[in-house]
């Protein structure tokens, strides 16, 4: 009895987790202070994958920034691409074509699924569920095959272009995509059966790493993490971009903000993404994918009406369908050069090699110190990245290179609130909580 009443001096222990640690996907160092088994204090040290994105972007032309954006959140590179392109388009005042918007939605959602698959797979693996990992990697592979078919690469795709996308969808893609989606759904169901009601999984995640609604708002958390805490904020709904305003989808919400809710939110978001992809494929209009490739043809009576009213700005170069009064007048000698729409997208190779306008257009876009030159100014455009609001703040000084490209990476804010989710829990819960956040070092450190 005496031994029990004897007071012993207790000391907290300092423990470094990372930056190279099997359960830390991505490089980050957590300096934890432990009191026995429980975590008293956590300090996250970041910057191990700083690759000078913002500085490199200042040295590259507007188009050359796109490959750098691939490698921000390398699990869902397509969303980054489109986010950056949309920001520059906003600066230029360009509206992309309807087909391009649908393509962007489709590809973004494919990317979102791959991201969530990777997140859940990795966090399940870290808790010992290797089977779920292998199933989801299989599912991701089906989608990578589709991405490769569309963009030509599996991961670092550089598919977005300012004013459109690199190329149209290949023939027969909708069928292949549908087939892949069916397979992904099957894997989702399989992992759902393995994890959702699994006693071990629920014990390790339920009630662990709780992020309260207040904290989530205070730390400006967005994406699945905020939604798991019950905040109904989704950039796709709040500020619809591309064709999201025409898509019918639900934003899943959690109640408790713990690891389990984050897992459920991600699972449901994947199902919603599949729903969006199906709608986008169904509703995808025809037409050009880049802003200027179709030309701007107006009816002749419109041309006359506009001219009579004195609205002649930009009309000089517009191609019109003039009624033939003399033999041969219906022939359009050359396509109009409409500077507003010709300043971002490269002309087709037929035009480049076939006529002088195309050649000049090509050179003006390719030559150093010419290229894409947005007007002076700055703008911010946010898209719903896989981890939350992914914003691009671009500043132009009127040159062919960005003055500044600042990224608002969702992970950065998640790492800021990390200590709230780890302190007070056990050491072993660090792995479970950290896995559910889906920290991507590429966009965290940039």
Partner 1 sequence: MGIKPGDTPGFFTSKLEKAVGWARRYSIFQYPFVTACCGMEYMSTASGHYDMDRFGAGLPRFSPRQADVLFVVGTISHKIAPILRRVYDQMCEPKWVVAFGVCTCTGGFYDNYATVQGIDTIIPVDIYIPGCPPRPEAVLDGLMKLQAKIENQKQVVI
Name the residues that contact partner 1, by CB under 8 A: 19-22, 25-27, 47-52, 55-56, 67, 70-71, 74-75, 118, 122, 133-134, 137-138, 140-141, 144, 154-156, 441-442
User: How many angstroms separate the Cα of 138 from the Cα of each of 91, 198, 218, 294, 388?
Assistant: 40, 21, 38, 39, 25
> Of 240, 96, 71, which is closest to residue 162 (Cα–Cα)?
96
**Contact (Cβ atoms closer than 8 angstroms) between residue 382 and residue 235:** yes
Q: Least distance (Å) from partner 1 to the CB of residue 390?
A: 16
Q: Least distance (Å) from partner 1 to the CB of residue 427?
A: 17
Residues recorded for the chain: 446
Q: Least distance (Å) from partner 1 to the CB of residue 22?
A: 3
Cis check for the bond before 19: say yes or no (omega within 30 of 0): yes
Residue 64 CA to residue 88 CA, distance in Å, equals 12
Q: Which residues contact 22 (CB under 8 A, 6 or more apart)?
A: 126
Residue spans of beta strands (DSSP E) within 106-237:
160-161, 164-165
How many angstroms from the chain centroid is the CA of residue 199? 34
Q: Least distance (Å) from partner 1 to the CB of residue 107?
A: 17
As a whole number of Å, the end-to-end CA separation of the chain is 58
* Token pair for 388: 């939350």
Q: Least distance (Å) from partner 1 to the CB of residue 44?
A: 14
Residue 254 CA to residue 32 CA, distance in Å, equals 28
> Of 284, 260, 128, which is closest to residue 205 (Cα–Cα)?
260
Kindly tell me which of 122 and 188 has the beta carbon lying closer to partner 1: 122
Q: Least distance (Å) from partner 1 to the CB of residue 59?
A: 9
Q: Least distance (Å) from partner 1 to the CB of residue 135?
A: 8
* Token pair for 212: 């309260």
State whether the Cα torsion 30-31-37-38 is positive or negative.
Answer: negative
User: Which residue matches tokens 């989801």?
Assistant: 136
Q: Least distance (Å) from partner 1 to the CB of residue 303?
A: 48
> Of 277, 268, 224, 279, which is closest to residue 410 (Cα–Cα)?
224
Residue 382 CA to residue 376 CA, distance in Å, equals 20
Kindly tell me which of 48 and 239 has the beta carbon lying closer to partner 1: 48
Kindly tell me which of 187 and 341 has the beta carbon lying closer to partner 1: 187
Kindly tell me which of 247 and 440 has the beta carbon lying closer to partner 1: 440
Kindly tell me which of 138 and 275 has the beta carbon lying closer to partner 1: 138
**Contact (Cβ atoms closer than 8 angstroms) between residue 139 and residue 271:** no
């Amino acid at each position: 009895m005496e031994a029990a009443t004897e007071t012993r001096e207790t000391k907290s222990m300092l423990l470094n987790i990372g930056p190279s640690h099997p359960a830390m996907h991505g490089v980050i160092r957590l300096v934890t202070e432990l009191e026995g088994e429980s975590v008293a204090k956590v300090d996250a040290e970041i910057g191990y994958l700083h690759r000078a994105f913002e500085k490199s972007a200042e040295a590259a032309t507007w188009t050359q920034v796109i490959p750098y954006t691939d490698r921000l959140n390398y699990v869902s590179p397509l969303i980054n691409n489109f986010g950056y392109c949309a920001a520059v388009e906003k600066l230029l005042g360009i509206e992309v074509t309807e087909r391009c918007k649908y393509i962007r939605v489709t590809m973004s959602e494919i990317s979102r699924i791959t991201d969530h698959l990777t997140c859940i797979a990795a966090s399940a693996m870290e808790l010992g569920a290797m089977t779920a990992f292998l199933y989801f990697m299989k599912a991701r592979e089906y989608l990578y095959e589709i991405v490769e078919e569309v963009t030509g690469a599996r991961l670092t795709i550089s598919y977005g272009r300012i004013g459109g996308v690199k190329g149209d969808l290949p023939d027969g893609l909708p069928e292949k995509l549908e087939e892949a989606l069916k397979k992904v759904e099957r894997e989702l169901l399989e992992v759902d059966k393995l994890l959702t009601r699994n006693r071990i999984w629920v014990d390790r995640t339920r009630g662990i790493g709780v992020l309260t609604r207040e904290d989530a708002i205070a730390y400006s958390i967005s994406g699945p993490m905020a939604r798991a805490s019950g905040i109904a904020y989704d950039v796709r709904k709040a500020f619809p971009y591309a064709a999201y305003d025409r898509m019918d989808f639900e934003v899943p919400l959690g109640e408790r903000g713990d690891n389990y809710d984050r897992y459920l939110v991600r699972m449901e978001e994947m199902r919603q993404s599949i729903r969006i992809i199906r709608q986008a494929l169904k509703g995808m209009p025809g037409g050009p994918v880049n802003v200027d490739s179709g030309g701007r043809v107006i009816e002749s009576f419109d041309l006359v009406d506009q001219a009579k009213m004195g609205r002649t700005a930009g009309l000089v170069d517009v191609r019109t369908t003039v009624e033939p009064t003399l033999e041969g007048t219906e022939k359009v000698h050359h396509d109009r050069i409409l500077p507003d729409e010709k300043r971002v997208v490269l002309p087709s190779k037929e035009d480049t090699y076939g006529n002088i306008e195309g050649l000049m257009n090509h050179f003006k876009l390719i030559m150093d110190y010419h290229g894409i030159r947005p007007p002076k100014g700055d703008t911010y455009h946010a898209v719903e990245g896989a981890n939350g609001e992914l914003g691009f703040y671009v500043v132009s000084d009127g040159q062919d290179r960005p003055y500044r490209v600042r990224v608002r990476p969702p992970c950065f804010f998640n790492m800021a609130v990390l200590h709230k989710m780890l302190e007070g829990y056990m050491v072993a819960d660090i792995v479970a909580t950290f896995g559910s956040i889906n920290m991507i070092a590429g966009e965290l450190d940039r």
